[in-house]
Structure 1
Amino acid sequence: RGAWQNLQHRRLGMDVPVALAIGSAWLVSMVNTVRGDGEVYFDSVAMFTFFLLLGRYLLLKTQLAATESTLPLSDLPDVVQLRNGRWKTVEQIVPDDEIVVPKNGVVAADGILISREARVNEAILTGEPWPQKKVFGHEVYAGSRNEGAPFMMRVTASADSSFAAKLQRYQTQAMTCRNHRQTLIDKIAHHFVAAVLLTAVATFMYWWITQPDMALESALAVLVVSCPCALSLAAPAAQTATLSGASQQGLLIKDADVLESLVRVSDWVFDKTGTLTTGQFVVQKFTPLSDQYTKAELDHIVVGLQRHSEHPVARAMTSQLSAGGYSAVEAVAPLPERTGMQGRYQGKLWVIETVNKDRPSASLTRTIQLRCDQQPVAEYQLGDAWRPGAKSTLAKLKREKHQLTILTGDPNADPKILTQAFAVDAAFTGLSPEEKVDQLKKLKTLAQGSVAMVGDGLNDAPVLAQADVSLAFASGAMLSRQSAQILIVSNRMKPIWQLVRWSQKCHRIIRQNITWALIYNAISIPAAAAGQLPPWLAAIGMSTSSLLVVSNALRARRLKSENRPISEEA
């Protein structure tokens, strides 16, 4: 049927020579049986068909093994229990339903946690095996597993609209689309099949003239032993295995073409806030400047002042220091230059303000001073922490001779300090989205290869769209996720380095597969034409060749541990 469909579309596919071989052998055998004279090839047809079907069965089984791990929704429960005790199927879940997730149960849809806390394992989405602590109001994603006590959540998206469902659709699209390399290979395979058919005809005519009883068998062997399927599987098998392995580590590749571009990347460009850093300020140090108040008292006053501000630093301090409550500070108002807050508490004027706001810095730390009646009483040092894995990833890319550049919109960051702090080759600060695009275009003209961009914010979307290879964190802005070719579902930077190694390994395996397919056909076709291979042995050779190609491709799912490890920071 495959050969007939190929012929209907005027295309010489890999099934055409196989179908011609089986059909010709069977037809000649039937005619000779009716005539009662001549050779019959029923035994060869039976053995050939057996080995062909066995090979294709093993081939399909191997390919399924490479793709089955990319189906994140396969473990969703069939039914879920609502808060009121009723039950619904997963398909019937709608937004605002409140459902119960039992212990060791799988979350059926995206939603918001309405229980006090929960411990959820998101390994199927992020590749990280450790359970994450969630508290009231945190997002919970479909496909996650509850590793703590039962909890309740409010559904925000149906199962087929969940984050995991979108990832699955992206993954399926990447696996089924045909990239430029595969299109070229298919064209070569088309001409290869035509050459095989001509070779089979020439072989038949030669043996018919010199030794007629060898003519049909040798021609059949040529048709059977040729392996355009190994050539056609060389690239997609390796790419499918790579996509599968990457998805298990929290990398979603939306376009298989990007694997080819990654091999040629010479320059990596990073956004700073939210990409190399978490974008979330953390109180790292407390320094008392007066012995009149305890830390708890000062924390309460800080929260009493900062809870009235929407500044990211104020929100961070309020979130981290509010566990013990807050003081009832009165007449709270922002400072004239909006560098802090002021208010009255117990008859005294309290001011909290950033004291290093005018010093150019890498913006990784900020010092916040608390004053009472103009006298400093304490300082809080806040830092924008490194994203987990950022240091080691930059170091490994640098070790492989990649050029590293930072493009940031932070106007307070000093390029020299950024270059030293992140150990990169260059840094450009205070850039608007348009200026980021212009700077990227300049880098592309100077780069020895392709340029990759990693970002996460709304202002990164234009520059991501201009990069040869674009990566964004799934936790980032929607527009940047849509612009990126690769989504990093994990919160860590380590998958970026793994992606580089995966693309290199995929490239090597594709070259190995193509080389093997060419060498195999260069040896086997002349041998078959010379009458050295019977059709049944040719069938074994063809099936074995295809299996070797796919088996070699499956190595792309695993990465060997590095010989020169670089410590992975928390």
Structure 2
Amino acid sequence: MSNNTPCYHCGLPAEKDSPYKATVLGQPRVLCCLGCQSVAEAIVDNGLENYYQFRTEPAAKGESEILETLDKLAVYDDPALQEDFVYQEGKHNQIQLTVEGITCAACGWLIEKQLSRVQGISQVAVNVAERRAMVTWEPDNIALSGILKALKRIGYKALPFQPDQHEASYLTEQKQFLKKVGLAGLMTMQVMMLMTGLYFDLFGSIEAETRQYFYWVALVLTTPVVLYSGSTFYLGAIKAISARTVNMDVPVTIAIFGTYIAGLKATLLQTGEVYFESICMFIFLLLLSRYLEHRSRHQATQISANMMQYIPVTAHRLEPNGQLSDCLAKHLQTDDTVIVKSGETIPVDGEILEGVSAIDESMLTGEFEPVTKQAGHVVYGGTVNQQSTLTIKVKQPLKHALVNQIIRLQSSAMANKPKVAQMADTFSSYFVSAVLVISAATFAFWYWQGNEDAFWIAIAVLVATCPCALGLATPSALTCAMARLNKQGVLLKRADALEQLTTIDTIALDKTGTLTAGQFSLQQVHVANGYTEEQVLQVAASLESRSEHPISKAFTHDNLLNVSEFEVTAGGGISGVVSGQQWCMGSASFTGVSPNSIAPNANVFLTNGDHCVAAFLVSDSLKPDTAATLEALADKQIVLLSGDNQHNVDAIAQTLPIQQALGGLTPEQKYQHVQALQAKGHKVLMLGDGINDAPVLASADVSLAVGNATDVARNAADVVLLSESLSTVPPLLKLAQQTRTKIRQNILWAVGYNLLILPFAVSGLLLPWMAVIGMSLSSIIVVTNSTRLLK
């Protein structure tokens, strides 16, 4: 006798004593897994239990697309449901949406233009390549459901971005593409065979009735291609016209229906030309180019778009009573304790409490060498524990995990389009209007001249000059470039940073934590009269125990003293009251000490009141790849800006290809120096890692935070390295140059092709089928050229 019973949610077999249960419609229900339990509880909590009464079949396993199931957009206004995907940015809310129906750059332009007019929406950034939109809005003025409705009104269906649903959406669109391309390709072969035979008289002298019969057969074969396969373009044109604008689909739609109606008329009246093979070939090749673009976009973006696939669904939570329980990873909260066994994936960002193991962080940094981590070290969700069991304390929920922040950063990056992209978008919209005007003028001229092919010449102009390739020129290259950077562990927070990197001629560097490894050790201790080394080290270690600066790890003591009124001065030092006395510890300028008076080579000073009690020499070692990286950047002017004393700065600068090295600088002085460089016309790339680097990072033309940077530095930077290594900086600059070259090549090709083909089309030398091939090949060449950036 079976011990299984159907899962109440999805209908799949579930054990009768399954631990997964939920109370639905007043009765306990048996469920098969955590996924179904989570969805059932969400439906009940939101008062939507009627779904189970009126559904006609079991739900898909683990599905949580309540929007499609119940067709109620208002459900997304529930704060509990928004917790998973809405982020608060001050008085604004921000969300990533998966948008279905995006086919080309014109769709992105249309969505941005229309949503920006909606009151309450502050910013809209559409990433056409990933079929996603980042929307920032004021919750007091508009609800999330209002945003989804606004998108629906212009013909686009949107859902909060979730990696698995986003992937399912892509597969659905891919199937639709394949069906439409397959039908168009099959019919094109049949129609081409018939019409080619007629054009070149391959069938010999045939009677008019037989010729007319072939026309009717071609019409029947062409009709489903026009009505089904070509529907993608008509929907795009309707969306644009309903929004009182034009896009690339408008001339395509006019060309298809113009040619089809003319062929239908000629077939019915048995007079005139028919170009059914041109219609089929036009739709087939245009669909083929868009399908190839669709696939290449997916290949380029799946690295970042699907990073959440590395996060496990469940986690082993250690309960207060010492028992282990399985729970959903997204339900873990700050300060929860989880157990991660050997070979398992770490579910969320956290700090190791117990255990030592090698962690594979390649999905974040692109470096496949495992990193050894132990108690006190931070680990990230999605990385793999390779050796022994770890006990980890959760630092933040899954929603705010690093891997989730990466996805948001990549989407936000597309909000700041490079100038060349803005110019291409503007030019493309004007160019479509120009194509329509030129086509109409061409028809009028040849009709006035009495040319019986005036209509077909105008159609050739519409087809040949369709600016699809121009619309793809910039976004396809940027998407591929950002995907390649993701593989290397480099995140762009602004897409236009790539463009600015090509103009950089000066690189400014912080020393500690950027050039050096941040592994400080205490080399020398100088103690003033009246104090012992044991005393000053105890006070120093007590103060530094409250500091997060890397230098604090150089000071340790077994018996720490209580510290009160502790304060941190960014770029200066720390202060506090120890044993009833005021102590300060930090740089010479912060403590007011003259280094020469106690120890010329010291770089950290301890004062009690107005008296210098001790001076310390704390040293750090260069990162292994620092010298090789700076050698690769030898064509740039390299400037070292450090808060360390000039003696230590000079010692490091002598071993590296650095043109200028300045020490003893406060954050304000670093900022002023970069401003001075910019005033002289230099374009500055600033590399830093600490809180004190935030002002200068924000002021540089492009700023870069290394992998061990503080959160403040990461927030101020335009580019973030996930690895502590600087070795990715030269490839970053090289790829920026390559991307600019590809964009220029794409735009030059797209514009050059249109300008070259236009005279042939207007003069009547270009037949419609020739225009079809030329236009399609132009788009395919642009996409193919961009994908070379992935290699």
Query: Taking structure 2 as the reference length, what is the TM-score of the superposition?
Result: 0.58
Mapped partners of 2:714, 2:539: distance in 1: 36
Q: Find the counterpart in structure 2 of residue 421 from structure 1.
A: 655
**Quick one: distance in 2 between partners of 1:357 and 1:118?**
44
Q: Which amino acid aligns with 2:465?
A: S
Alignment partners' CA distance in 1, 2:657 and 2:597: 23
| Residue 753 (structure 2) pairs with residue 520 (structure 1) | yes
Q: Among residues 124, 137, 148, which one is paired with 2:376 in the alignment?
A: 137
Stretch moving more, 9-18 or 456-465: 9-18
1:76-225 aligned at under 5 Å gives the runs 76-83=311-318, 84-175=323-414, 177-210=416-449, 212-225=451-464
Aligned partner (choices 545, 552, 561) of residue 785 of structure 2: 552
Does 2:626 correspond to 1:390? yes
Quick check: 138-147 or 83-92, which moved more?
A: 83-92
Q: AA paired with 2:778?
A: S
1:21 to 2:262 alignment: no
Distance in 1 (alpha carbons) for counterparts of 2:625 and 2:451: 70
The aligned counterpart of 1:538 is 771
RMSD of aligned alpha carbons? 3.4
Q: Distance in 1 between matches of 2:491 and 2:660?
A: 29
Deviation at 1:40, TM superposition (A): 3.5
Choose which of 708, 711, 714 in structure 2 pairs with 1:481: 714
The match for 2:666 among 408, 432, 447 is 432
C-alpha distance in 1 between matches for 2:629 and 2:597: 30
Alignment partner of 1:46 is 2:287: no
Deviations 1:76-125 (A, max 9, x none): 22222333332222332222333333433322211122331121111111
Aligned to 1:74: 309
Residue 421 of structure 1 deviates from its aligned partner by 3.5
SS of the residue aligned with 1:273?
Answer: coil
Q: After the TM superposition, which of the residue ranges 94-103 and 214-223 deviates more from structure 2?
A: 94-103
3-state SS of 2:498 partner: helix
Alignment of 1:207-246 (within 5 A): 207-210=446-449, 212-246=451-485
Distance 1:407 1:17, change over 3 A: same
Candidates 536, 546, 554, aligned match of 1:316: 554
Deviation at 1:553, TM superposition (A): 1.2
Cα distance in 2 between the residues matched to 1:307 and 1:407: 27
Please tell me whether the aligned partners of residues 227 and 517 of structure 1 are also in contact (alpha carbons under 8 angstroms).
no
Give 1:520's aligned amino acid.
Y
Deviation, 1:386, is 0.9
Taking the aligned partners of 1:143 and 1:108, their CA distance within structure 2 comes to 6
Instruction: Write the distance in 1 (CA, Å) between the matches of 2:762 and 2:779.
Output: 21
- Partner letter of residue 255 of structure 1? R
SS in structure 2 opposite 1:50? helix
Cα distance in 1 for residues equivalent to 2:781 and 2:415: 22
CA apart distance, 1:180: 2.3
Partner of 1:359: 600
Matches within 5 A, 1:50-61: 50-61=284-295
Unaligned runs of 5+ in 2: 1-234, 525-535, 560-578, 586-594, 605-615
- Cα 1:176–1:34, aligned 2, differ >3 Å: closer, same or farther? farther
Assess if the C-alpha contact under 8 Å between 1:415 and 1:426 holds in 2: no
Measured after TM superposition, the shift of residue 249 of structure 1 is 1.0
Find the aligned partners of 1:491 and 1:212 in 2 and give their Cα distance: 70
- Which deviations, in whole Å up to 9, do the C-alpha atoms of 1:119-143 show, x marking residues without a partner? 1111111111111111122211011
Distance 1:313 1:212 in 2: 84
Identity %: 34
What does residue 566 of structure 1 align with?
none
User: 1:471-491, CA deviations, whole angstroms, 9 ceiling, x for partnerless residues?
Assistant: 112422222111111111111
Separation (CA, whole Å) in 1 of partners of 2:429 and 2:356: 59
Alignment correspondent of 1:441: 675
Q: For the residues of structure 2 that align with 1:260 and 1:266, how far apart are their CA atoms?
A: 13
Does 306-315 or 269-278 show the bigger shift?
306-315
Distance 1:553 1:20, change over 3 A: same
The change in CA–CA distance for 1:186 and 1:526 in structure 2 (over 3 A counts) is same
Measure how far apart 1:4 and its partner are. Answer: 2.4
Return 544-553 or 515-524, whichever deviates more: 515-524
Q: Structure 2: which amino acid aligns with 1:162?
A: A
Q: Distance in 1 between matches of 2:308 and 2:726?
A: 25
| In 1, Cα distance between equivalents of 2:442 and 2:658 | 63
The corresponding residue for 2:239 is 5
2:312·2:382 contact (CA, 8 Å) conserved in 1?
Answer: no
For residues 134 and 90 of structure 1, the distance between their equivalents in structure 2, rounded to whole angstroms, comes to: 22
Contact 1:182–1:232 (Cα < 8 Å) also in 2: no
TM-superposed deviation, 1:416: 4.5
Looking at structure 2, the residues matched to 420 and 22 of structure 1 have their Cα atoms a distance apart, in angstroms, of 70
CA deviation after TM superposition for structure 1 residue 171, in Å? 0.8
Q: Work out the CA distance in 1 between the residues paired with 2:704 and 2:695.
A: 13
Q: In structure 1, what residue type is equivalent to 2:334? A: P
SS for the counterpart of 1:13 is coil
For 1:434, give the aligned amino acid.
Answer: E
Counterpart Cα distance in 1 of 2:411 and 2:660: 38
Q: Separation in 2 of the partners of 1:154 and 1:315?
A: 21
**Over residues 407-453 of structure 1, what are the superposed CA-to-partner deviations in whole Å (9 max), with x where a residue is unaligned?**
11223546644542333111222122222111111111224x41111
Distance 2:583 2:599 in 1: 12
Q: Write out aligned runs for 1:496-511 (5 A).
A: 496-511=729-744
> What SS does structure 2 have at the residue aligned with 1:28?
helix
Aligned residues: 501
Counterpart code for 2:622: W
Contact 1:63 1:550 in 2 (8 A): no
Q: Partners in 1 of 2:598 and 2:267 — Cα distance? A: 97
Contact (CA 8 Å) 2:353, 2:391: kept in 1 or not? yes
Higher relative contact order (CA 8 A, sep 6+): 1
Equivalent position SS for 1:88? strand
Give the letter aligned to residue 704 of structure 2. Answer: L
Deviations 1:199-237 (A, max 9, x none): 222332344345644222222122112241211221221
Letter in 2 for 1:77: P
The counterpart of 1:62, out of the listed 296, 305, 311, is: 296
Judge conservation of contact 1:175–1:243 (CA < 8 Å) in 2: no
1:413–1:430 CA contact under 8 A, matched in 2: no
* Counterpart Cα distance in 2 of 1:67 and 1:305: 52
3-state SS of the aligned residue for 1:404? strand
SS at match of 1:421: coil
- Quick one: which amino acid aligns to residue 359 of structure 1? P
Q: Distance in 1 between matches of 2:598 and 2:509?
A: 24
CA contact (8 A) 2:520 2:553 kept: no
Distance in structure 2 (CA, Å) of the matches to 1:260 and 1:338: 45
Cα–Cα, structure 1 residues 177 and 10, in superposed 2: closer, same or farther, change >3 Å? Answer: farther
CA gap of 1:426–1:31, structure 2 versus 1, over 3 A, is: same
Opposite residue 384 of structure 1, the aligned amino acid is: D
The alignment status of 1:406 with 2:640, answered yes or no, reads yes
Aligned-partner Cα distance in 2 for 1:48–1:80: 52
Normalising by structure 1, we get a TM-score of 0.79
Tell me how far apart the structure 1 counterparts of residues 437 and 510 of structure 2 sit (CA, whole Å): 57
